[in-house]
């Protein structure tokens, strides 16, 4: 018998009880979260960390650059790099909410497993992929969810269950795409070190020379491999991080466009307004106003 219906039931009950207003339910297991939505969403811009998302109910569209992926119940979305995506929940209702389980990939666990599984370095593969959720992955996810009802067992068992889920992901049809994340000192790992600095300090000027040094690459090699992994230049990556954070500050904290611009490192509000409009399709005041109106209409 398929595990997916049982996983859907457990995830649905937990998400309904714990999801915030945005539909996100964090769990006590680091890196494990749930998403619940009762209506289709607008476009959501993000720069996602490497993760897997098991879609259990509803459907979603994910675009990266010129590529677009549709996935629905019973499928897994894999993102293997810090890449800009535009997401949209396309099917969700009160009777059948959109439900997904999201696990951030742990590069240290992947590196250990890759060495133990004696797999060689994988060729470069697409950063976003969709495939059917495999039985072993669903079973490991179900055990993780069931562990949340046993707080005393969490500190004892969660690490080995997270490790088991990573193993089945590596052993499955999406494994080749995940494997390169764990190859010691590979390009993906080096770029990831630079990305972690960008994520932490995006509001400050960051010389590319510093980022290349963190990655242990020459300037020319760093530019080449950063774009290959993320699809963006370091400057474009930092700009998108700033704009996404500014949008969040305006929507969730009510900051004005100028206050949000300065908070994320812009020195010129007109420049911020132009770049915001190019990314989100509308100037900041009009775009955030439209988003609030849609939210009020569906409340």
pLDDT digits (tens, 9 = 90+) for 40-56: 998 888 888 889 999 99
Average pLDDT over every residue of 35-39: 96
Please tell me the distance from the alpha carbon of residue 189 to that of residue 201, in angstroms, as a whole number.
Answer: 19
Give the pLDDT score at 160.
95
Selected residue with higher pLDDT from 175 and 17:
17
Residue 298's pLDDT band, with cuts at 50, 70 and 90, is low
Tokens at residue 33, please?
A: 């979260």
The predicted structure's pLDDT at residue 291? 67
Average pLDDT of the residues in 203-218: 93
For residue 80, the model assigns a pLDDT of 84
Q: What percent of the chain has pLDDT over 70?
A: 93
- CA distances 250 to 22, 201, 278, 279, Å, are 15, 20, 17, 15
Query: Taking all residues of the chain, what is their mean pLDDT, rounded to a whole number?
Result: 89
Query: pLDDT tens, 62-114?
Result: 988 777 889 999 999 998 888 888 899 999 999 999 999 999 999 889 888 98
Per-residue pLDDT for 294 more than 70? no
Mean pLDDT computed over 180-204: 83
pLDDT at residue 230 in the model: 83
Is 245 in contact with 264 (CB distance < 8 Å)? yes
Q: How far apart (Å, rounded) are the C-alpha atoms in residues 290 and 50? A: 30
CB-based contact 64:127 (threshold 8 Å): yes
- Indicate if the pLDDT at residue 297 is higher than 60: no
Question: Which 3 state secondary structure label does DSSP give 16?
Answer: helix
Local confidence band at 27 (pLDDT 50, 70, 90 cut-offs): very high
- Please give the average per-residue pLDDT across 205-234, as a whole number: 90
Per-residue pLDDT at 40? 93
pLDDT band at 293 (very low <50, low <70, confident <90, very high): low
The residue that leads in pLDDT, 17 or 126, is: 17
| pLDDT-wise least confident of 10-24, 25-39, 88-102, 175-189 | 175-189
Rounded to 5°, angle at Cα 177 from 171 and 182: 80
Residue 115, token pair as written in the block: 């060495």
Name 17's bridge partners: none
Confidence of residue 292 (pLDDT cuts 50, 70, 90): low
Region 214-222: mean pLDDT is 92
Q: What is the mean pLDDT of residues 216-221?
A: 92
Q: Are 284 and 272 contacting, i.e. CB atoms less than 8 angstroms apart?
A: yes
Structure tokens given for 254: 């009510």
Question: Angle, nearest 10°, between helix axes 284-298 and 269-280?
Answer: 50
């Amino acid at each position: 018998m398929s595990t997916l219906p049982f996983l859907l039931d457990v995830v649905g009950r937990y998400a309904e009880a714990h999801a915030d207003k945005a539909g996100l339910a964090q769990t006590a297991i680091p890196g494990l979260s749930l998403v619940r939505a009762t209506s289709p969403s607008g476009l959501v811009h993000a720069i996602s960390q490497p993760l897997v998302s098991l879609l259990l109910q509803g459907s979603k569209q994910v675009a990266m650059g010129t590529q677009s992926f549709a996935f629905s119940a019973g499928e897994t979305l894999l993102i293997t790099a810090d890449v800009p995506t535009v997401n949209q929940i396309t099917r969700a209702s009160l009777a059948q909410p959109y439900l997904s389980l999201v696990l951030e990939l742990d590069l240290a666990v992947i590196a250990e497993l890759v060495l133990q599984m004696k797999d060689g370095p994988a060729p470069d593969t697409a950063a976003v992929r969709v495939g059917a959720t495999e039985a072993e992955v669903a079973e490991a996810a179900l055990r993780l969810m069931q562990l949340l009802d046993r707080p005393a067992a969490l500190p004892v068992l969660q690490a080995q269950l997270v490790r088991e889920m990573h193993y089945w992901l590596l052993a499955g049809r999406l494994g080749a795409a995940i494997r390169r994340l764990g190859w010691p000192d590979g390009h993906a790992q080096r770029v990831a070190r630079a990305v972690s600095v960008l994520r932490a300090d995006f509001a400050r000027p960051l010389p590319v020379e510093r980022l290349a040094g963190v990655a242990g690459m020459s300037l020319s090699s760093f530019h080449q491999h950063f774009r290959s992994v993320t699809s963006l230049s370091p400057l474009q990556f930092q700009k998108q991080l700033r704009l996404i954070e500014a949008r969040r500050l305006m929507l969730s904290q009510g900051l004005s466009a100028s206050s949000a611009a300065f908070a994320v490192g812009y020195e010129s509000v007109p420049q911020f307004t132009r770049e915001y409009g190019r990314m989100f399709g509308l100037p900041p005041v009009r775009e955030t106003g439209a988003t609030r109106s849609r939210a009020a209409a569906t409340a």
